[in-house]
Amino acid sequence: MGLVLSDNWKITLPCTRAEADALAEDNLFLASADSVPTIVTREAGKDTPEIWAIDVYCDVEPDAEFLNNISRLAPSAKTGPKVEKLADQDWVTLSQRDLKPLRAGRFYVHASHSAPQNDPKIHNICIDASQAFGTGHHETTLGCLQTLDRLKRRGQNFRNIIDVGTGTGLLAFAANHLWRRAKIIASDIDPVAVSVGRNNAKTNHIKLGGQRGSLHMLASNGLDHPAIRRSGPFDL
C-alpha cells in the first residue's frame, strides 16, 4: 500500500562508488531505528561518474545521533549530511522514481521515460514507480523473473497461473508473455495496487478478463475470493 506522508525528511550525503556498493554491509544500525528509512544510492552527476550520493528518506526528523550514523556510511565526505524537509510526497514513488532499467533473462523492465529494447527476443515491460510493489529491482522480484525465464527455456507449459500479492502486476505480465494461452489471476489485498496493476496492463497492451490468454486482476485477502476458489487448482 502506498504511503503519503505529511512529514517527510531527506538526508543527502556525498560518497564514493565503493562506499555506495558497500552500503548494504554498513547500514545495520538503520534496521533498529524507530522508523526504518528508505535508502537510495545514485550517481551525483553524469559528468562525474566517480562521485556518488546517498539519499535517505524518513518520516521523522533526524536527530544528531541519526545524522552521525549516516555520516559513518561515507567516511570520504568532506561535508556533513544535508537535511531537508519535503512537501507531501508519495513514499514509494519518491524512493523508486530514479530506478534504472534492468534485464532479467528475456525480460527488460523499464519506466516510461526509458526507451524499450529493439530486439524481438526481448520482452519489454514498462513499469513506472507507483503506490505498489514490484519494479523488478528487489531481489525477490528479480529472482522470480529469472525463474520464469528458466522454466520457459526448459519447456515447461502452464495453463492456470496465479500471482498472489501482484503489486504492479509485473510477474503476472511476465507469465502472460511466456504462456500466451494460460489463464492468469493476479490478486492483491490492496485495492490501490489492483488499480495500478490494471493501468500497467493497459500500458503493456495486456488483455484483461477471465478468459485464456488474458489477465484477471482482483482485490483479495490471500486466496479468499470466489473467483480464485472457482479457478483452482493452479499449476503455477
Kindly indicate the confidence band of residue 116, based on its pLDDT and cuts at 50, 70 and 90.
Answer: confident
Residue 100's pLDDT band, with cuts at 50, 70 and 90, is confident
Cell of 150: 528458466
User: Which fold is adopted by the domain 102-231?
Assistant: Rossmann fold (3.40.50)
Task: Categorize the per-residue pLDDT at 236 as very low, low, confident or very high, splitting at 50, 70 and 90.
Answer: very high
Identify the burial level of 94 via C-beta atoms within 10 angstroms of its C-beta, where 0-12 means exposed, 13-18 middle and 19 or more buried: buried
Cell representation of residue 31: 534496521
Q: Grid cell 528475456 — which residue?
A: 106
Q: Which three cell numbers stand for residue 231?
A: 479457478
Q: Is the previous residue joined to 120 through a cis bond, with omega within 30 degrees of 0?
A: no
State the fold for domain 4-96: Alpha-Beta Plaits (3.30.70)
pLDDT (tens digit, 9 = 90+) per residue, 183-224?
999 999 888 888 888 989 999 999 998 888 889 999 988 888
Domain layout of the chain by residue ranges: 4-96, 102-231
The closest alpha carbon to 134, from 185, 200, 85, 207, belongs to: 200
If 0-12 CB within 10 Å is exposed, 13-18 middle and 19+ buried, where does residue 24 land? exposed
The residue ranges of DSSP E strands in 154-222, in sequence order, are 160-164, 183-188, 215-219
Stronger pLDDT, 94 or 62, i.e. the higher one: 62
Return the higher-pLDDT residue of 192 and 151.
151
pLDDT value of residue 26:
47
Collapsed DSSP state (helix, strand, coil) of residue 14: strand
Predicted confidence (pLDDT) per residue in 121-148, tens digit: 899 999 876 544 555 566 778 889 999 9
CB atoms within 10 A of CB 166: 29
More confident residue, 67 or 112: 67
Which residues, at least 6 apart from 179, have a Cβ–Cβ distance to it below 8 Å? 152, 157, 158, 159, 161
Query: Which pLDDT score is estimated for 131?
Result: 47
Average pLDDT over residues 65-78: 89
| pLDDT band at residue 6 under the 50/70/90 scheme | very low
Q: Average of pLDDT values for 83-110?
A: 73
**Mean pLDDT taken over the chain:** 81
Specify the amino acid at residue 224. Answer: D
What pLDDT band is residue 91 in, cutting at 50, 70 and 90? low
Q: Are strands 215-219 and 160-164 parallel, antiparallel or unpaired?
A: unpaired
Please give the share of the chain, as a percent, with pLDDT higher than 70. 80
Same fold for the pair 4-96 and 102-231: no
Cα angle value 37/134/29 (rounded, 5°): 20
